[in-house]
């Protein structure tokens, strides 16, 4: 099994994600607001997957030692640089998660729930208990549980699979259409975040993440099967999250009609 076969086997789930009803529901800034209030958890846990890869694939302990694969180490360090300390539309250094929060505020979305959630997490050992104990939609909880259960395996190829597949490739394009309809410069923070997302994922992060999986699996067939299984679960979790958000948007439209 190789990366081409993985991509082929995942195509039905990826097609389901690409053609999800959610995209037909995104017609206004109000719809974006509802989307962002749930999707922000995926923006945040993406960073946790990234940091788990950094811990496993680069040297983050003392004394420093050279890593076994400098190609994957460089890739991860480059992504950390861009995701954790990128430049926003004003030239200020911020993480992409913080840029997303700024964009949420800009469109009037509520950031209280996610910020309170992060404040309540003490450490990795307690994160699953914290997720279970707080008031969150079941789809969001399931999405987060899958992420942190994968991280806790401490197996880089599985973490890399969850990191690489199931990305929301269509969302930036959908958002930009709505932002454009709102008028030029109406939502500069959101527009900048989306265009930056498209630029990095399309040109750099996407192709490099596939190469990372190839290097992590090598000739180990068991690892390739793990990657397929984990990727399928990641896509299924993303579809389940999209189902929830689409339903929430539909309900809001029924209330406001």
The sign of the torsion formed by the CA atoms of 216, 202, 96, 164 equals: negative
- Look at residue 124 in the predicted model and tell me its pLDDT: 86
Say if CB 163 and CB 54 are below 8 A apart: no
Rounded Cα–Cα distance for residues 26 and 240 (Å): 17
Which residues is 87 bridged to in the sheet? Answer: 93
Residue appearing with tokens 């003490």 = 122
Interhelix angle for 171-181 vs 29-57, to 10°?
140
| Contacts of residue 220, Cβ cutoff 8 Å, sequence gap at least 6 | none
* CA 176 vs CA 86, 152, 181, 194, 195: distances in Å: 20, 36, 8, 7, 8
What does the block give as tokens for 126? 């307690």
- Look at residue 152 in the predicted model and tell me its pLDDT: 95
pLDDT values of the chain reduced to their tens digit, one per residue, 257 residues: 788 999 999 999 988 888 889 888 888 889 999 999 999 999 999 999 999 999 999 999 999 999 989 988 998 998 899 999 999 999 999 999 999 999 999 999 999 999 999 999 988 888 999 999 988 999 999 999 999 999 999 999 999 999 988 676 656 766 777 777 767 678 899 889 888 887 877 666 777 888 899 999 999 999 999 999 999 999 999 999 999 999 999 999 888 76
- Look at residue 205 in the predicted model and tell me its pLDDT: 73
Buried b / exposed e along 95-118 (16+ C-beta atoms within 10 A): bbbebbbbbbebbebeeebbeebe
Could you tell me the pTM of the whole model?
Answer: 0.92
Rounded Cα–Cα distance for residues 166 and 230 (Å): 10
């Amino acid at each position: 099994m190789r990366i081409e076969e993985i991509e082929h086997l995942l195509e039905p789930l990826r097609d389901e994600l690409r053609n999800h009803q959610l995209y037909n529901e995104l017609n206004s800034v109000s719809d974006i607001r509802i989307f962002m209030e749930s999707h922000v958890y995926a923006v945040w846990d993406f960073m946790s997957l990234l940091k788990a890869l950094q811990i496993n694939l680069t040297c983050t302990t003392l004394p420093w030692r050279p890593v076994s694969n400098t190609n994957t180490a460089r890739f991860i360090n480059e992504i950390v640089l861009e995701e954790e300390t990128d430049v926003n539309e004003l030239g200020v250094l911020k993480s992409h998660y913080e840029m997303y929060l700024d964009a949420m505020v800009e469109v009037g979305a509520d950031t209280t729930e996610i910020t309170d959630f992060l404040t309540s997490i003490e450490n990795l050992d307690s994160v699953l208990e914290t997720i279970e104990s707080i008031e969150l939609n079941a789809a969001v909880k399931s999405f987060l549980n899958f992420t942190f259960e994968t991280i806790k395996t401490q197996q880089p190829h599985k973490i890399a699979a969850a990191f690489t597949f199931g990305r929301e490739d269509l969302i930036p394009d959908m958002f930009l259409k709505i932002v454009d309809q709102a008028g030029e410069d109406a939502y500069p923070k959101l527009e900048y975040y989306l265009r930056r997302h498209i630029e990095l994922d399309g040109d750099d992060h996407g192709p490099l993440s596939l190469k990372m999986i190839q290097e992590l699996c090598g000739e180990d067939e068991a690892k390739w099967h793990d990657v397929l299984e984990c990727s399928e679960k990641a896509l299924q979790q993303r579809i389940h999250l999209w189902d929830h958000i689409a339903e929430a948007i539909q309900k809001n439209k029924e209330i406001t009609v």
